[in-house]
């Protein structure tokens, strides 16, 4: 059975979705860079070991990442899962866990990498928005894509209402991606694309607004 370690910085709603998904793996630990992260209490309620590696205790990103990696490795992680972990990781850290470091991002990558994704989508007037689970690479928010979910952008949407609709899908697709990884159903190809074994894709179009 695979071991996963989850990294958080706050309330950890995606982490909670993973804990409640009955995944075919052992959640070895939840680690936060903030001692007051609400997700730590949720993890403890699920009897998951927790740890804190505070970025404030380190003079730079490299030393923080080194300390974080040491704690992760103590739990013998097969996969490291970012669930609202609000730190930009160094290239050395990312490469240390190449092919084993997973993130979820609130946009349909490669569009809208970075912050304020919902505000930017509304400003641009896009009709379809969503979320993406991807492998992490040193190129921020541009790693190989595992799974995506799309939602319509409604005319009355605010960043908050759109974020809520996207978050609902995040809680659906993140456990699915981890389930595939733990079942060895995902292969990261040399060309950077992700091959999902034994999975049939449906070839219909998602159109928003719908056709009349």
CATH class of 105-212: alpha beta
pLDDT per residue over 14-72, tens digit each?
A: 999 999 999 999 999 999 999 999 999 999 999 999 999 999 999 999 999 999 999 99
From the list 58, 105, 118, 129, the catalytic residue is: 105
Which CATH code for domain 1-97? Answer: 3.40.50.170
Every domain of the chain with CATH number 3.40.50.170 lies at 1-97, 105-212
DSSP-derived secondary structure letter, 126: -
Whether residue 105 lies in the annotated active site:
yes
Give the full edge-to-edge strand order of the sheet including 145-152: 50-52, 25-32, 2-8, 79-82, 101-105, 128-135, 145-152
Q: In this structure, is the dihedral angle defined by the CA atoms of residues 10, 134, 77 and 197, taken in order, positive or negative?
A: positive
The whole model's pTM is what?
0.95
Q: 174: number of CA atoms within 13 Å, CB side?
A: 29
């Amino acid at each position: 059975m695979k071991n996963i370690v989850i990294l958080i910085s706050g309330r950890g709603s995606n982490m909670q979705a993973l804990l409640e998904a009955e995944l075919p793996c052992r959640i070895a630990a939840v680690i936060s860079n903030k001692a007051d992260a609400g997700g730590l209490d949720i993890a403890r309620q699920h009897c998951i070991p927790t740890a804190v590696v505070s970025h404030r205790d380190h003079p730079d990103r490299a030393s923080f990442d080194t300390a974080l990696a040491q704690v992760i490795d103590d739990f013998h992680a097969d996969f490291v899962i970012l669930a609202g972990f609000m730190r930009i990781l160094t290239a050395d850290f990312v490469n240390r866990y190449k092919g084993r470091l997973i993130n979820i991002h609130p946009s349909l990558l490669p569009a809208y990498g970075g912050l304020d994704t919902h505000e930017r989508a509304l400003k641009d007037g896009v009709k379809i928005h969503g979320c993406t689970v991807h492998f992490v690479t040193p190129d921020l928010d541009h790693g190989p894509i595992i799974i995506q979910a799309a939602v319509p952008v409604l005319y009355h949407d605010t960043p908050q209402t759109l974020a809520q609709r996207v978050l609902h899908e995040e809680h659906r697709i993140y456990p699915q991606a981890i389930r595939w990884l733990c079942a060895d159903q995902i292969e990261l190809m040399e060309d950077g694309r992700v091959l999902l074994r034994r999975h049939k894709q449906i070839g219909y179009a998602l159109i928003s607004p719908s056709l009349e």
